[in-house]
Amino acid sequence: MSVQLETLDASVFEPPPEAIDFYVESLRLLNQSGFPFLLSGTYALSCYTGITRPTKDLDIFCKPSDAPKILSFFKGLGYHIEIEDERWIGKVWKGDNFFDVIYNISTASIPITDEWFREVYEVEVYGTTVRITPPTEFILSKLFLQDRYRYDGADVAHVILKKHDEIDWHRLLNAMELYWEVLLIHVLNFRFIYPTERECIPHWLIDELMERLQAQAQMPPAQMKICRGRLLSPRDYVVDIAEWGFADVVGKGIEEKHERHK
């Protein structure tokens, strides 16, 4: 699929005046670099829903193998490069302005792959035609952001409402295979928010997720106490790991002892 969207009026995002030239230059240079990338975040949300809000940077998605190439490209041009977290993000700075280079979902270890580039959605922003994150992958990038300070569930619900016919639900389910309960949370959230729009979610997906839930309910309790809360909020569930004996997503915790029934 290839979709050419209307030119995006970037002024609605209220970027700092001194940042506009940086954004114009950055997108032009990103195209010039030849490395595949996707513009995401607030810009993609606006393309799909019309929702606008102020933003202070650009979210640039790329494959993990291309991230150091993009960062090196800008470093060679005199920009300041920062590796904020080796697991998922780097930054390109010029003065007080920056853009993020994101190559993995920060908490869930879902890397940006060739699949993210399979569908083409293009828009002109800041005078440059760029590809934006397709609806399916945009949702995937938002599912795990659920903490006290930032919750992106509304973005997920709004994109489902506006772009449900363009979402690859099989692809989304496959990407969330290990985290299907998180997908179920957002499916139920959508159904609650829009009771008259429930048909936007395919019936087969709901049936599949509920079948998994019922099968899981028949399983005995796990022997290892695990808290997966830090997949959703790295800050809000520290106490579970530090003080309450739960294993983090990786690492050891306290093994539960269950009396065996003879």
Determine phi and psi for 139, rounding to 5 degrees.
Answer: -60, -45
pLDDT in the model for residue 223: 86
What is the pTM (predicted TM-score) of this model? 0.90
Q: Which residues contact 163 (CB under 8 A, 6 or more apart)?
A: 48, 135
Q: Which residue has the higher pLDDT, 18 or 232?
A: 232
Pick the closest to residue 185 from 217, 152, 218, 215 (CA basis). Answer: 152
Residues 37-47, mean pLDDT to the nearest whole number: 95
104-111 average pLDDT score: 86
CA distance 82 to 92: 7
Q: What is the pLDDT of residues 126-142, one digit of tens each?
A: 999 999 999 999 999 99
Helix axes 180-193, 153-163, angle to 10 degrees: 70
What are the pLDDT digits (tens) for 149-188? 889 999 999 999 999 999 999 999 999 999 999 999 999 9
Neighbours of 164 (CB within 10 A): 16
- What is the predicted pLDDT for the residue at 65? 97
CA dist., res. 77 & res. 97, Å (int): 15
User: What structural domains and CATH numbers belong to the chain?
Assistant: 1-133 (3.30.460), 147-219 (no CATH), 221-262 (no CATH)
- pLDDT tens digit string along 185-220? 999 999 999 999 999 999 999 999 999 999 999 999
Averaged over 45-60, what is the pLDDT? Answer: 91
- In a 3-state reduction of DSSP, which class is residue 12? helix
CA angle 34, 39, 45 (to 5 degrees): 160
